[in-house]
């Protein structure tokens, strides 16, 4: 085995993925890297470029795609001076499965099965945004009960997704028990999902025209059980993490981002709200029935890792508030629209009605046709604005499906937030962005 | 009362046999202790995390460590291409050997009360219940923990890989820094006991519970020692050296097979040894009431119980606390622990001298303490001023990542 002095990573089949040579870190490189996005003045960029250090004192380290805390297969090239991060280049694409392209070959009824695999920590939001877009093109109104069931399931999904964040965030900062506590609480919600949709993730529950099934018997008791159990557990988190001095030391003042920067970088969700910008689509552009429930938008004031953690922790509490209101306000009626062209007929009808059998056959082989047009619908997923851009050419399959994944957009804050911090901070910051790579690569 | 009475009558084959027997017994105790400790840690952490933990291999999963050990031995031993091979092979031994050697100076039993000097009869010879009792005992402890740094540092450096390198740099800085705090808090104990020998330190604490150094030194050196020891052991919350989430595996990322096993062994050996040292230095070692039966057994029993308490605390910390960041670790070590133990050492020194020289006791206490408080305030003030001059914000100097944009 010959010892190679030069690591051959620079010449992969995917082109050069190494960081550019050090001379690129002069003012021009900095301007390209962050200045143009952050709208810095030339003077500010020039001042920044003076921080450059000689090339032989830095080390370029490859973090990921197989690294314990890059949340899947995110890859970062870090340039370090000692342990201080100077430059970062995030590299995505390791989980690319072509789901958007696949979506063009699936009918609108098969669509949710496909998109639900994008943000696998919050699958119901993907289904919701796809269904809302399809319904907007179709021009159908879903019955109120379907809307409220969707809202209920999405808020529960927000809770489970944020518990996933709390688990991994604790883990990334070294509080290893948190991964199991977070998982334990998340499981309470997942059990309800399993009972409702039959699946613990990738539910395919919210579909164009309504939801797949009505809520199961005893759903009120199940939800009451969850709402009873969670507040005490959240209190435990507060004493284990929020009030823990080491935790505060690790997160406060780390990965700071200002409101202007966050807006310039297009971030949404907890990252934007951590800067004090109260932007939440549920409040600002209400969809479903969010204008009929009461909840607060949680915002931070420093824009640091701690704020993003605290926002998510408290959003769980807000979501529980919404769930409690839905429990009281859940209307009766149908759980899907009674439009024979869109909704498959009930199983019992197929045996007795020729019409029903034909509709059933047509819907599951050919699908329903959607009028020509294009639409963009956005919902507030746990990670930010989740948008679906759908173009129909009048056939039964979308002409173009594009998902605006909040994780993908939020990832571009990394080079900015990581600069000047330590590796330990880098881990905390990546964790606080909470990227789900399935949604990034789609 | 200096040195092991074993050597009082010269050196012959009986002495040699006793020495070998003691070394073998000591080694066995440590290795069995490690096997138990790994199981104990996994089981207790599992309990704290609502898991079951190992329960397949043997009753209550007691055979899990053994099974893991066998697995590690039979795994392929990989050496990275770019590794510095001789150093890469040497490093695990540099970790394990000091870990074991430190245990040799720990008295694991013996009767020290009622005129007894803690000796036991063995083949007609008197000896202490510890493998060795060098007159420089405590210095030996510090020396060994310094050598252990080499194992970790060389492991990371010789791997020819970047993450281990970062881990070893962290290890070197961390262990060297906390060595100072560790040493200073031990000096307080030595000052009271008047000897560096661990046997004499235990003998000096044999009377009542008020003779235990944790009370005699008013707990401060004990706390400092415990914190510094945790850092010295690279255990959570000071496990930056391994920091799985940051450095993958830290210094042992590139190690596999039994070489990795040796680091693992050394880590747990160190945990046991350091807990034993804490018990010896501060909690009277085998000291404790004899309830019934032969006193010799009770000494070892009390020692084991105290040891278990510390082992449990180490596991408890691991399940509870997040990890410190590198700079915060250095802050804690240099700006808090070292000044604190240094100041406390001076106070204890003043009181000791005052007792010997017959100074007014309350006046000495008040004087020493007020001096200590004034120095502490001066130190804090100096740090504040230094920080202001550097222009650090409220979060400290390391959060300047974004302030330039504002």
The single residue listed with the structure tokens 């605006």 is A404
Take residue A405 and report the two structure tokens written for it. Answer: 């994944």
Task: State yes or no: pLDDT of B397 exceeds 80.
Answer: no
Highest average pLDDT, of A147-161, A326-340, B278-292, B376-390, comes from A147-161
Q: What is the mean pLDDT of residues A11-40?
A: 57
Q: What is the pLDDT of residues A97-144, one digit of tens each?
A: 889 999 899 999 888 999 998 888 899 999 999 999 999 998 888 999
**Do A80 and A57 form a contact (C-beta atoms < 8 A)?**
no
- ipTM here: 0.83
The single residue listed with the structure tokens 């005699």 is B216
Domain assignment present for residue B201? The answer is yes
What's the domain count of chain B?
2
Q: What is the pLDDT of residues B124-135, one digit of tens each?
A: 777 777 878 888
Give the β-pairing of A384-392 and B125-128.
unpaired
Q: Which of B170, B324, B401 sits opposite A256 (nearest CB)?
A: B401
Residues B247, B161, single domain; the answer is yes
pTM: 0.86
Instruction: Return the H-helix or E-strand segment holding B310.
Output: helix B295-320
The three-state secondary structure class of B9 is coil
Residue B255, pLDDT score: 87
Shortest CA gap B50–chain A (Å):
8
Instruction: Give the list of residues 6+ apart from residue A169 with CB closer than 8 angstroms, or none.
Output: A178, A309, A428, A431, A432, A434
Q: What is the pLDDT of residues A386-402, one digit of tens each?
A: 999 999 998 889 999 99
Task: State yes or no: pLDDT of A42 exceeds 70.
Answer: no
Say how many CA atoms lie within 13 Å of B7 toward its Cβ. 9
Domain assignment present for residue B91? The answer is yes
**Do B255 and B198 form a contact (C-beta atoms < 8 A)?**
no
**Across the A/B interface, how many CB contacts are shorter than 8 Å?**
129
**Angstrom distances, CA of residue B224 to CA of A156, A385, B326, B349:** 46, 49, 19, 17
**Range A100-410 has CATH code 1.10.645.10:** yes
**Predicted confidence band at A80 (pLDDT cuts at 50, 70, 90)?**
confident
Q: Is the dihedral of CA A190, A193, A199, A205 positive or negative?
A: negative
Residue B53, pLDDT score: 86
d(CA A197, CA B355): 78
Per CB-CB distance under 8 Å, the chain B contacts of A180 are 49-51
Task: State yes or no: pLDDT of A83 exceeds 70.
Answer: yes
Q: What is the DSSP letter of A330?
A: -
**Which of A257-261, A289-293, A352-356, B357-361 has the lowest average pLDDT?**
B357-361
Instruction: Return the H-helix or E-strand segment holding A76.
Output: strand A75-81
Residue B1, pLDDT score: 42
Residue A3, pLDDT score: 42
Residues in chain A: 442
Enumerate residues 199 to 258 of chain A having a beta carbon within 8 A of any beta carbon in chain B. 240-241, 244, 246-247, 249-250, 252-258
**Predicted confidence band at B406 (pLDDT cuts at 50, 70, 90)?**
very low
Q: Is the dihedral of CA A419, A425, A427, A431 positive or negative?
A: negative
Residue B395, pLDDT score: 42
Q: What is the mean pLDDT of residues A186-207?
A: 90
Residue B77, pLDDT score: 84
Domain assignment present for residue B59? The answer is no
Summarize chain A as % helix, strand, coil (round to 5).
50, 10, 35
Task: State yes or no: pLDDT of B185 exceeds 70.
Answer: yes
Q: Do B245 and A420 touch (CB under 8 A)?
A: no
Instruction: Give the list of residues 6+ apart from residue B141 with CB closer than 8 angstroms, or none.
Output: B102, B105, B186, B277
Instruction: Return the H-helix or E-strand segment holding B128.
Output: strand B125-128
Residue A309, pLDDT score: 92
**Predicted confidence band at A164 (pLDDT cuts at 50, 70, 90)?**
very high
Domain assignment present for residue B217? The answer is yes
Take residue A157 and report the two structure tokens written for it. Answer: 């999904």
Q: Is A90 exposed, middle or buried (0-12, 13-18, 19+ CB in 10 A)?
A: buried
d(CA A173, CA A179): 11
Average per-residue pLDDT for chain B? 82
Percent of chain A clearing pLDDT 90 (strictly above): 31
Residue A308, pLDDT score: 92
Take residue B237 and report the two structure tokens written for it. Answer: 């919350």
Q: Which residues of B48-58 are buried (b: 16+ CB within 10 A; e: fewer)?
A: bbeeebbeeee
Task: State yes or no: pLDDT of A50 exceeds 50.
Answer: yes
Take residue A281 and report the two structure tokens written for it. Answer: 């689509």
Domain assignment present for residue B291? The answer is yes
Task: State yes or no: pLDDT of B390 exceeds 70.
Answer: no
Residue B81 backbone phi and psi in degrees, to 5: -55, -40
The single residue listed with the structure tokens 């958007």 is A100
Q: Do B401 and A67 touch (CB under 8 A)?
A: no
Instruction: Map out the domains of chain A as residue ranges.
Output: 100-410
Q: Is A363 exposed, middle or buried (0-12, 13-18, 19+ CB in 10 A)?
A: buried
A191 interface with B at CB cutoff 8 Å: no
Task: State yes or no: pLDDT of B405 exceeds 50.
Answer: no
Q: What is the pLDDT of residues B295-325, one digit of tens each?
A: 778 888 888 899 999 999 999 998 888 888 8
The three-state secondary structure class of B352 is helix
d(CA A382, CA A405): 11
Per DSSP, which regions of B236-328 are E strands?
A: none
Q: Do A425 and B325 touch (CB under 8 A)?
A: yes
d(CA A67, CA B246): 8
Q: How far is CA A88 from the centre of its chain?
A: 22
Task: State yes or no: pLDDT of A323 exceeds 50.
Answer: yes
Q: What is the DSSP letter of B396?
A: B
Residues B266, B377, single domain; the answer is no
Task: State yes or no: pLDDT of A343 exceeds 60.
Answer: yes
Residue A5, pLDDT score: 45
**Predicted confidence band at B396 (pLDDT cuts at 50, 70, 90)?**
very low
Q: How far is CA B274 from the centre of its chain?
A: 3
Q: Do B50 and A184 touch (CB under 8 A)?
A: yes
d(CA B286, CA B273): 15
d(CA B40, CA B53): 10
Q: What is the mean pLDDT of residues A352-356?
A: 86
Residue B403, pLDDT score: 40
Take residue A361 and report the two structure tokens written for it. Answer: 């056959």
Domain assignment present for residue B45? The answer is no
Which has more confidence, A331 or B118? A331
**Do A309 and A182 form a contact (C-beta atoms < 8 A)?**
no
Take residue B39 and report the two structure tokens written for it. Answer: 């199981």
Q: What is the pLDDT of residues A263-287, one digit of tens each?
A: 888 899 999 999 988 889 988 888 8
Could you tell me which chain A residue has the CA closest to the CA of B162?
A61
d(CA B42, CA A290): 46
**Predicted confidence band at A243 (pLDDT cuts at 50, 70, 90)?**
confident
Shortest CA gap B232–chain A (Å):
18
Give the β-pairing of A75-81 and A210-211.
unpaired
**Do A299 and A111 form a contact (C-beta atoms < 8 A)?**
no
Shortest CA gap B15–chain A (Å):
49
Concatenate the DSSP letters of all residues of A251-282 into one string: HTTSS---HHHHHHTT--THHHHTTT----HH
* Residue among B48, B249, B26, B248 nearest A70 (CA): B248
Q: Do A83 and B404 touch (CB under 8 A)?
A: no
Could you tell me which chain A residue has the CA closest to the CA of B331?
A249
User: How many Cβ atoms sit within 10 Å of the Cβ of residue A394?
Assistant: 10
Domain assignment present for residue B169? The answer is yes
**Do B197 and B2 form a contact (C-beta atoms < 8 A)?**
yes
Task: State yes or no: pLDDT of A9 exceeds 80.
Answer: no
A382 interface with B at CB cutoff 8 Å: no
Question: Domain residues for B352?
Answer: 341-392
Q: What is the mean pLDDT of residues A139-161?
A: 92
**Angstrom distances, CA of residue A92 to CA of A436, A437, B250:** 11, 8, 25
**Predicted confidence band at B404 (pLDDT cuts at 50, 70, 90)?**
very low
Q: Which of A69, A82, A419 sits opposite B245 (nearest CB)?
A: A69
d(CA A340, CA A363): 9
As beta bridge partners, residue B125 has B122
The three-state secondary structure class of B287 is coil
d(CA A187, CA B189): 51
- Among B324, B350, B382, identify where a domain stops: B324
**Angstrom distances, CA of residue A36 to CA of A27, A41, A266, B248:** 12, 9, 13, 34
Q: What is the dihedral of CA A10, A15, A16, A17, to 10 degrees?
A: -100
**Do A159 and A125 form a contact (C-beta atoms < 8 A)?**
no
Residues B177, B84, single domain; the answer is yes
Per CB-CB distance under 8 Å, the chain A contacts of B322 are 170, 173-175, 241, 244, 246-247, 250
Q: Do A180 and B327 touch (CB under 8 A)?
A: no
Could you tell me which chain B residue has the CA closest to the CA of A303?
B402
Residue A377, pLDDT score: 93
Q: Do A4 and B399 touch (CB under 8 A)?
A: no
Q: What is the pLDDT of residues B142-160, one digit of tens each?
A: 888 888 888 888 888 888 8
Residues B229, B263, single domain; the answer is yes
Domain assignment present for residue B195? The answer is yes
Residue B398, pLDDT score: 40
d(CA B287, CA B199): 12
Say how many CA atoms lie within 13 Å of A325 toward its Cβ. 15
Q: What is the mean pLDDT of residues A211-239?
A: 90
Q: Do B322 and A175 touch (CB under 8 A)?
A: yes
């Amino acid at each position: 085995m010959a010892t190679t002095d030069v690591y051959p990573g620079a010449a992969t089949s995917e082109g050069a993925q190494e960081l550019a040579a050090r001379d690129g870190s002069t003012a021009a490189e900095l301007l390209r890297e962050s200045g143009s996005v952050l709208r810095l003045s030339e003077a500010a960029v020039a001042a920044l470029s003076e921080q450059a250090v000689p090339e032989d004192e830095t080390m370029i380290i490859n973090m990921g795609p197989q690294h314990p805390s890059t949340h899947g297969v995110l890859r970062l090239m870090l340039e370090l001076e000692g342990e201080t991060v100077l430059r970062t280049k995030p590299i995505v694409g390791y989980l690319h499965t072509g789901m958007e392209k696949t979506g063009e070959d699936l009918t609108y009824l098969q669509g949710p099965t496909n998109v639900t695999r994008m943000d696998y920590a919050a699958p119901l939001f993907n289904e919701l945004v796809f269904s809302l877009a399809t319904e907007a093109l179709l021009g159908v109104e879903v019955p109120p009960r379907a809307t409220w069931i969707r809202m209920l399931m999405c808020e529960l999904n927000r809770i489970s997704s944020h518990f996933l964040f709390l688990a991994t965030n604790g883990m990334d900062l070294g509080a290893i028990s948190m991964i199991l506590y977070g998982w334990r609480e998340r499981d309470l919600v997942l059990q309800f999902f399993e009972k409702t949709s039959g699946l613990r993730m990738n539910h395919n529950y919210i579909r164009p025209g309504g939801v797949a099934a009505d809520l199961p018997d005893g759903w009120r008791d199940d939800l009451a059980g969850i709402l009873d159990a969670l507040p005490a557990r959240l209190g435990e988190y507060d004493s284990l993490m929020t009030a823990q001095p080491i935790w505060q030391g690790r997160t406060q003042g780390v990965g700071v981002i200002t409101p202007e920067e966050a807006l310039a970088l297009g971030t949404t969700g907890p990252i934007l709200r951590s800067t004090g910008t109260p932007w939440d689509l549920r409040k600002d552009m209400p969809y479903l029935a969010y204008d009929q429930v009461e909840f607060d938008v949680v915002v931070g004031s420093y824009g640091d890792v701690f704020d993003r953690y605290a926002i998510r922790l408290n959003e769980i509490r807000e979501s529980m508030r919404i769930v409690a209101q839905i429990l009281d306000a859940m209307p009766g009626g149908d759980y899907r629209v009674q439009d024979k062209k869109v909704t498959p007929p009930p199983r019992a009808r197929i045996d007795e009605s020729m019409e029903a059998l034909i509709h059933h056959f047509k819907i599951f082989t050919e699908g329903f046709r959607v009028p020509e047009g294009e639409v963009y619908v956005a919902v507030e997923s746990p990670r930010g604005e989740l948008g679906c851009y759908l173009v129909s050419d009048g056939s039964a399959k979308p002409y173009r499906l594009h998902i605006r994944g909040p994780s993908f957009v939020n990832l571009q804050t990394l080079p900015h937030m990581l600069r000047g911090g330590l590796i330990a901070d880098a881990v905390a910051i990546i964790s606080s962005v909470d990227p789900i790579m399935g949604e990034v690569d789609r | 009362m200096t040195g092991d009475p074993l050597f009082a009558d010269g050196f012959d084959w009986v002495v040699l046999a006793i020495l070998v027997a003691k070394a073998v017994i000591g080694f066995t105790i440590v290795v069995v202790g490690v096997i138990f400790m790994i199981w104990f840690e996994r089981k207790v952490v599992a309990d704290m995390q609502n898991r079951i933990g190992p329960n397949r291999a043997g009753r209550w999963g007691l055979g899990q460590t053994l099974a893991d050990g066998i697995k590690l031995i039979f795994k392929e031993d990989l050496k990275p291409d770019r590794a510095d091979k001789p150093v890469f092979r040497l490093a695990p031994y540099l970790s394990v050997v000091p870990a074991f050697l430190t245990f040799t100076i720990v008295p694991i039993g013996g009767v020290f009360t009622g005129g007894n000097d803690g000796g036991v009869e063995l083949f007609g010879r008197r000896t202490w219940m510890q493998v060795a009792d060098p007159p420089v005992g405590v210095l030996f402890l510090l020396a060994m923990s310094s050598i252990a740094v080499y194992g970790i540092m060389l492991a990371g450096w010789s791997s020819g890989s970047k993450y281990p390198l970062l881990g070893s740099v962290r290890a070197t800085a961390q262990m060297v820094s906390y060595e100072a705090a560790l040493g200073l808090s031990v000096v307080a104990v030595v000052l009271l006991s008047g000897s560096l020998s661990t046997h004499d330190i235990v003998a000096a604490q044999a009377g009542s519970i008020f003779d235990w150094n944790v009370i005699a030194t008013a707990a401060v050196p004990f706390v400092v020692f415990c914190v510094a020891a945790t850092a010295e052991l690279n255990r959570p919350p000071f496990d930056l050296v391994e920091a799985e989430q940051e450095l993958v595996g830290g210094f042992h990322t590139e190690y596999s097979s039994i070489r990795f096993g040796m680091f693992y062994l050394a880590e747990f050996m160190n945990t046991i040894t350091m807990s034993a040292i804490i018990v010896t230095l501060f909690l009277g070692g085998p000291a404790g009431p004899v309830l019934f039966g032969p006193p010799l057994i009770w000494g070892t029993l009390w020692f084991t119980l105290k040891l278990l308490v510390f082992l449990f605390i180490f596991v408890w910390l691991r399940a509870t606390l997040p990890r410190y960041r590198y700079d915060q670790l250095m802050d804690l070590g240099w700006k808090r622990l070292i000044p604190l133990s240094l100041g406390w050492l001076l106070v204890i020194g003043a009181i000791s001298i005052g007792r010997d020289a017959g100074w007014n006791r309350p006046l000495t206490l008040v004087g020493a303490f007020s001096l200590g408080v004034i120095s502490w305030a001066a130190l804090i003030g100096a740090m504040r001023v230094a920080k202001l001059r550097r222009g650090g914000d409220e979060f400290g100097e390391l959060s300047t990542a974004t302030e330039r944009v504002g």
